[in-house]
Amino acid sequence: MTPLESRLRHIIKTAGSISVAKFMQIALSDPEYGYYQTRDPLGVQGDFVTSPEISQIFGEIIGLWCVVTWQNAGRPRNIILLELGPGRGTLMADILNTAKKVSPEFTNALKVHLIETSPVLKQQQRAILKEYEITWQNDIEQIPSEPALIIANEFFDALPTEQYVMTKDGWYQRHITVDQKHDNLSFINVPLKKQESSVFPNQISNAKIGSIFERNAISERIMRSIAERIRDNGLASLIIDYGHTQTQLGETLQAVKSHKYHNPLTDIGEVDLTSHVDFEALAATSKSLGTKVHGPITQRDFFTSLGIEQRTRTLAAKAEGGQVPLLLEGSKRLIAKNGMGTLFKVMAITPKRGETPAGFELKPPGNEA
């Protein structure tokens, strides 16, 4: 049993079962043994690989997107470039290196902020971004309220989600407890508290017994903060993640270790836990605050319309022989029809009267590719 599982069992013994969100929060962020507190989970040696780690072209294109969005907004002199959950800092490094080449004026306008809770990853970010001036914060509320470009790749999927189960007596909340008979952690259903009865949207009113619904209140809180900032101060946010374009039923809580699926209730603190992002819920939160939402569109459509194929050919023509297959493979993977290209979605937020951001012109808002 991992030290974190012992701690969890103790919490459950003394205070009762815990919700799925509380479980995820402890498993990922316990200050001593939480998954993100103790390791760099990324890369081939780690548990999972993300787009910026697959290809530098991912960050280059987002860098160009940032520059163009800033130009279209009238080139404001002082802006914040904020990334949520920057991992190893690879995406931000690729964004900044690209921006430096194409627009020193843009680079001069930037103050770079990163939101990161993992001390191990902060260390890596510091190293890869050493030539830049960076400010780190733990929470978006600490970021000054100024015009901002706000980027998040595979951030929202790491935030703790709640789960609800339809029973013959209506919706119950899913909790985790200690199963005394088998001496392991297991799921149980507990009655809702009063204020929770408001969480079920119309889209899932047809839920059958056994259906699971996930709602991520923490994501919605962060989305609210992003939307208010964009509405009040301008520029844009770009959110990339795996998930569904429409609110729907279904369990998506998943554990991954060494690139393989794992039981989420074992090896607590040593496996990555995520859930799919509900883009419709995020879009609704953002729209309700008076912003414009673009997409979500597929990662494939976004990067294809911004020229990933041409960029790959240009780089490949200049690259050394050994690099070429890596470049080609990387781009192919990012836009694969039966893989990352369609599983991942891209959504942008702008002020109500903001221009349609680059990459979103072809698809009307909310249209699925």
Residues 183, 185, 186, 187, CA torsion sign: positive
Q: State in angstroms the smallest separation of the CB of 321 from ligand SAH.
A: 28
Interatomic CA distance for residues 164 and 196, integer angstroms:
10
Q: State in angstroms the smallest separation of the CB of 39 from ligand SAH.
A: 10
Q: What share of the chain is helix, strand, coil (3-state, %, to 5)?
A: 40, 25, 35
Q: Of the listed pieces 2-10, 150-158, 256-264, 334-342, which binds ligand SAH according to CB under 6 A?
A: 150-158
Among 112, 158, 349, 358, binds ligand SAH (CB under 6 A): 158
Cβ–Cβ under 8 Å, residues 11 and 151? no
Nearer to ligand SAH, 49 or 207 (CB): 49
Does 30 contact ligand SAH by CB under 6 A? Answer: no
Partnered with residue 113 across adjacent β-strands are 82, 135
Question: What's the CA dihedral at 51, 54, 59, 61 to 10 degrees?
Answer: -90
Q: Of the listed pieces 1-9, 46-54, 226-234, 297-305, which binds ligand SAH according to CB under 6 A?
A: 46-54
What Cα–Cα distance (Å) separates residue 128 from each residue in 88, 92, 93, 121, 306?
Answer: 8, 9, 7, 11, 26
Q: Of the listed pieces 152-160, 201-209, 241-249, 301-309, which binds ligand SAH according to CB under 6 A?
A: 152-160
Cβ–Cβ under 8 Å, residues 349 and 236? yes
Among 24, 81, 91, 239, binds ligand SAH (CB under 6 A): 91
What Cα–Cα distance (Å) separates residue 167 from each residue in 191, 252, 262, 275?
Answer: 10, 19, 26, 22
Residues 276-305 that bind ligand SAH (CB under 6 A): none
Q: State in angstroms the smallest separation of the CB of 199 from ligand SAH.
A: 20
Q: What residue type is 184 in one-letter code?
A: N
Number of residues that bind ligand SAH (CB under 6 A): 19
Residues 58-87 that bind ligand SAH (CB under 6 A): 85-87
What Cα–Cα distance (Å) separates residue 326 from each residue in 30, 63, 156, 320?
Answer: 37, 21, 28, 11
Nearer to ligand SAH, 5 or 116 (CB): 116
138 contacts: CB under 8 Å, gap ≥ 6: 115, 116, 117
Q: Of the listed pieces 102-110, 116-124, 255-263, 284-292, which binds ligand SAH according to CB under 6 A?
A: 116-124
Interatomic CA distance for residues 288 and 369, integer angstroms:
24
Among 47, 53, 214, 220, binds ligand SAH (CB under 6 A): 53
Does 21 contact ligand SAH by CB under 6 A? Answer: no
Among 30, 60, 154, 278, binds ligand SAH (CB under 6 A): 154
Q: State in angstroms the smallest separation of the CB of 86 from ligand SAH.
A: 5
Nearest residue to ligand SAH, scored by beta-carbon proximity: 85
Interatomic CA distance for residues 115 and 137, integer angstroms:
5
Q: State in angstroms the smallest separation of the CB of 280 from ligand SAH.
A: 22
Nearer to ligand SAH, 140 or 204 (CB): 140
Binding site for ligand SAH (CB under 6 A): 36, 42, 50, 52-53, 85-87, 91, 115-118, 121, 153-155, 158-159
